[in-house]
Amino acid sequence: MKRFSLSLPAIITLAVTFLFSISSWAEQDSERLELSQTLVNTSGFNGLLQQLPLHFERGVKDASSFEKTENSEQQQLLIKAEQALNAAQIRQQITAAVARALTKKEIATLLQWYNSAAGKRISTAQTQASSEAGFEAMLFHVNTLLAEEDLLQLATVLDKQLGFVEFIVDLQEFQAFAEYSTISILRQQTLDVDAFDEKMKKEREHMVFNAEQLVMLSLAYAFRDIQKKDILAYEHFLQQPLTQLFLKAAMRGLEVGKQNMVRTWLQQSNRQIASE
């Protein structure tokens, strides 16, 4: 059998080529991460991200009020919650999930829509509507919105592509978990996650119904000043496989970030219960 061997120059050439390919891949990967971050920011996804800490802190405050906790102890819990709810880390999870799912060319294609005039109007409208101020304004206009049947119907169609109802239900469960776990901490009780999950399963159908009404009104409020042709163009954009790939990847990243937050919070909670 003929033995295969490489000369020293050939080995050096291969090694250099290999190292160059790794460097090139890392550079391309870095570029894709940067593009993914731009896509997440431009699409208005940060509006959803910001809801996580807001609802968790609200759950901590509600539990503290229910247990008639002293203000100093409530502040300590809120500090722990803030430490667990690292928005920057969640944003990194979302960005990484998008970068894994999409190529640079696909990201560029999506950015063309979000950077278009219609895309910018819609992203801005959604971001404003998802804020606390937007929610309060939406409640103020509820009766007017309920009379806009065509707009409500369009909002319902859009949510089938966006999946906001599922997100709202998860957000409500997230806040409920914050309240449930905080009460356990204050009562120095071991947190029974299985019992909480069972309770949420029983309430989920009712929560979904409420979320459907909320999302329908919220989207109707967001798009009340958007031309119908732009809304229809947005509907077409949302139906595209590439758009759905992006939205699902971003939601996966958001879920991973949320689970990491819960894990950190539970670790802190267990340490506090054990020390008391």
pLDDT tens column, 91-116: 899 999 999 999 999 999 999 999 99
Encoded tokens for 158? 């859009």
The confidence score (pLDDT) of residue 177 equals: 92
Give 193-222 pLDDT, tens digit per residue.
Answer: 888 999 999 999 999 999 888 888 888 888
Segment 18-36 shows an average pLDDT of 62
pLDDT at 257 over 70: yes
pLDDT value at residue 246: 96
Please tell me the predicted confidence (pLDDT) of residue 184. Answer: 86
69 — pLDDT class (breaks 50, 70, 90) = confident
In this prediction, residue 99 carries a pLDDT of 95
Determine the average pLDDT of the residues in 182-198: 87
H helix or E strand, kind and range, residue 187: none
The H-or-E segment that residue 173 falls in is helix 164-186
**CA pair distance 149, 123, nearest whole angstrom:** 23
State residue 219's pLDDT score.
87
Could you say which DSSP state residue 3 is in?
A: P
**Region 78-94 average pLDDT:** 84
Per-residue pLDDT, 16:
46
Q: Residues 6 or more apart from 274 whose CB is under 8 A from it?
A: none
Residue in 23, 18, 81 with CA at minimum distance from that of residue 266: 81
Is pTM, for the whole model, over 0.85? no
pLDDT recorded at residue 135: 81
Domain span at 58: 8-275
The tally of domains found in the chain comes to: 1
Burial (CB count within 10 angstroms: exposed 0-12, middle 13-18, buried 19+), residue 84:
buried
Instruction: For the chain, give the percent of residues with pLDDT over 70.
Output: 87
Q: Does the structure show a pLDDT above 50 at 3?
A: no
Residue 3 falls inside a structural domain: no
Q: Is the pLDDT of residue 14 over 80?
A: no
Query: What would the two tokens of residue 18 be?
Result: 């290999």
Banded model confidence at residue 276, pLDDT cuts 50, 70, 90:
low
How much is the pLDDT for 145?
A: 86
The pLDDT assigned to 76 comes to: 83
Lowest average pLDDT, out of 88-102, 126-140, 164-178, 196-210, goes to 126-140
Q: Is residue 132 part of a domain?
A: yes
Mean pLDDT of 124-148: 83
Is it the case that residue 146 has pLDDT exceeding 70?
Answer: yes
Residue 143 belongs to some domain of the structure = yes
pLDDT at 266: 80
